[in-house]
Amino acid sequence: MPSFTLNDDLLLQILGVTEAAALAAAPLVGQADRNAVDGAAVAGMRVAFSRVPIDGTIVVGEGEKDEAPLLFTGERVGTGAGPRVDIAVDPVDGTRLAASNRPGAIAVMSVAPRGSLFDPGPVFYLDKFITSAAGEGLRIDAPTSDTLHELANRLGRPVASLRVAVQDRPRNQAYADAVCSVGAAVVSFRDGDVIPALQAAHPRGPIDLLLGTGGAPEGVLTAVAVRALGGWMQARLAPQTPAERERTHAAGISIDRVLDLADLAAADGYFFLTAVTDVTGLADLGVDDLPRAAHGASGSRTASLVVSPGGGIRRVTRE
């Protein structure tokens, strides 16, 4: 595909979409209603999209697997003028975090040329394997113990020094057990796998590998950032229920296929993230932590990251 570049004006207009989602969700932080958080963010995004000069298609969105409000797959967004783009979006990654007023909730989106982002169809979850460039060629379907020893060898470190992010869910217990069996450290997190994925993909990140089953929307949009950062990623479709498996079979989609980074994001794109609640752990990525979105007496404040092709990470604060 041809190179894809957004000028600064359009880039900031697109960033306004995640900013709008974060600001719309902000009044609902700590109110114990994750669907209300998601619904407000979706509404904020739709209004903001209507002003952006792009011809956008939502390739993968968030909501149905959580019985929450949707940005529909196939939905057209933007004014219709400007570049034709694919969009992968999660209005709030970490709705539980926002609902309980905990750090780490973000509005997040990736934008790439039309036809370049993977559509997971009726599957809501992916098995994910994300590391920095040091892990290039390692495979998601290899034994975890072999993978960790090889990764440690490439990094020139003992395997016991490896830090592996695994989401704390019953479906991921086998991954956590495999990591512990070789003496590596499990970095457990409960909600929101986008930030740990960035930390794993970045060459100086505090995470050496992210492993486990998580949301498909987050997987596709994160692939854009992983590609930009020069990291390595593989994934597999991971239907979690009989109904999901039946829909996958009916759609003729193989759940055995290993998806490489080029399958998930076939062209360079841009990754946008705006803090809904405070976001920490970014120092190793070369940027400061992000304060939560807020409405104040004198106006509003947002703090965001933009990851551009080539790996540039830009922190944007707007008031």
Residue 132: pLDDT band (50, 70, 90) is very high
Say if residue 104's pLDDT is above 70: yes
Distance, CA of 26 to CA of 16 (rounded, Å) = 15
What CATH class has 125-264? alpha beta
State the CB neighbour count (10 A cutoff) for residue 167.
22
Residues 248 and 254 sit within 8 Å (Cβ to Cβ): no
State the CB neighbour count (10 A cutoff) for residue 12.
15
Mean pLDDT confidence for 63-92: 81
Average pLDDT, the chain: 93
Fold (topology level) of 8-113+268-318: Fructose-1,6-Bisphosphatase; Chain A, domain 1 (3.30.540)
Residue 66: pLDDT band (50, 70, 90) is very low
pLDDT per position as a tens digit, 158-169: 999 999 999 999
- Where does residue 78 fall: left (phi above 0), alpha (psi -120 to 50 degrees), or beta otherwise? left
Q: In this predicted structure, what is the pLDDT of residue 67?
A: 45
Residue 248: pLDDT band (50, 70, 90) is confident
Half-sphere exposure of 127 (CA within 13 A, CB side): 19
Which tokens is 234 given? Answer: 């593989």
Biggest alpha carbon distance in the chain? Answer: 56
3-state helix, strand, coil in the chain (%, to 5): 35, 25, 40
* Cα distances (Å, whole numbers) of residue 23 to 68, 102, 195, 315: 18, 16, 19, 17
User: What is the residue extent of each domain of the chain?
Assistant: 8-113+268-318, 125-264
Q: Do domains 8-113+268-318 and 125-264 have the same CATH topology?
A: no
Q: In this predicted structure, what is the pLDDT of residue 246?
A: 87
Mean pLDDT confidence for 161-179: 97
Say if residue 48's pLDDT is above 50: yes
Which tokens is 218 given? Answer: 């987050």
Mean pLDDT confidence for 79-89: 96
Using alpha carbons only, how large is the chain's radius of gyration in Å? 18
